[in-house]
């Protein structure tokens, strides 16, 4: 009997996490944070996902190896917009080196088995881990991050997840 109750508790936690995931995605899609042009950006890059039609530009102000400000513009599905919104909130004030490590760890969070990932605490980004259940949507969630990576590293090409 105890085993059955444990399964029910696990299912209830899973449902609660899925509901939280959906709420956060909807909130950041409806009211994206840092959604504006940044005319005085020191770094910027374009991103495009032809499969979903997501297109965005990531803008950064980097000084003294710190991301002083971050914003984005464009159009995309709810997952792409929410991911970009959460990303710009999380990276502000962080050293560029830490942002690059976060990019790699976040990508691994969505694309690799738990045993191969870092034990990083993703904080509010953890909610995007639910995208793993929808492999076709992982590219939507990671596009802003690949675009961020290109902006930091001066990548000349448009970031693509296809």
pLDDT of 73: 98
What integer pLDDT is reported at residue 135 of this predicted model? Answer: 86
pTM for this prediction? 0.85
Mean pLDDT rounded to a whole number for the chain: 88
Q: Domains of the chain by range and CATH? A: 2-160 (3.90.1010.10)
pLDDT of residue 6 exceeding 90: no
* pLDDT at site 129: 86
- Residue 23's pLDDT is 86
Q: What is the pLDDT of residues 69-80, one digit of tens each?
A: 999 999 999 999
Segment 4-27 shows an average pLDDT of 73
Q: What is the pLDDT of residue 161?
A: 74
10 has pLDDT over 70: no
pLDDT at 1 exceeding the cut of 60: no
Q: Average pLDDT, stretch 64-71?
A: 97
Q: DSSP for the chain?
A: -HHHHHHHHHHHHHHHHHHHHHHHHHHHHHS-TTBS--TT-SEEEEEEETTTTEEEEEEEEEETTEEEEEEEEEE--HHHHHHHHHHHHHHTT-BHHHHHHHHHHHHHHHHS-GGGS-----GGGGGGGGGGGSHHHHHHHHHHHHHHHHHHHT--SPEE--
Which residues contact residue 47 at a Cβ distance below 8 angstroms, ignoring those fewer than 6 apart? 54, 55, 56, 57, 58, 74, 143, 144, 146, 147, 150, 158, 159, 160, 161
What whole-number distance in Å separates Cα of residue 116 and Cα of residue 108?
Answer: 8
More confident residue, 22 or 77: 77
> Which of 135, 154, 137, 158 has the alpha carbon at shortest distance from 55?
158
């Amino acid at each position: 009997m105890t085993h059955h109750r444990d399964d029910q508790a696990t299912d209830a936690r899973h449902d609660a996490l899925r509901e939280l995931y959906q709420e956060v995605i909807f909130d950041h899609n409806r009211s994206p944070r840092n959604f504006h042009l940044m005319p005085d950006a020191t770094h910027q890059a374009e991103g495009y996902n032809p499969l979903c039609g997501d297109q965005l530009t990531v803008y950064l102000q980097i000084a003294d190896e710190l991301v002083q400000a971050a914003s984005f513009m464009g159009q995309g599905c709810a997952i792409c917009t929410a991911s970009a919104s959460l990303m710009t909130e999380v990276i502000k004030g962080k050293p560029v080196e830490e942002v690059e490590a976060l990019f790699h760890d976040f990508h691994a969070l969505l694309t690799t088995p738990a045993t191969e990932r870092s034990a990083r605490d993703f904080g509010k980004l953890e909610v995007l881990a639910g995208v793993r259940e929808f492999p076709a949507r992982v590219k939507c969630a990671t596009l802003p991050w690949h675009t961020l990576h290109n902006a930091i590293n001066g990548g000349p090409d448009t970031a693509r997840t296809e």
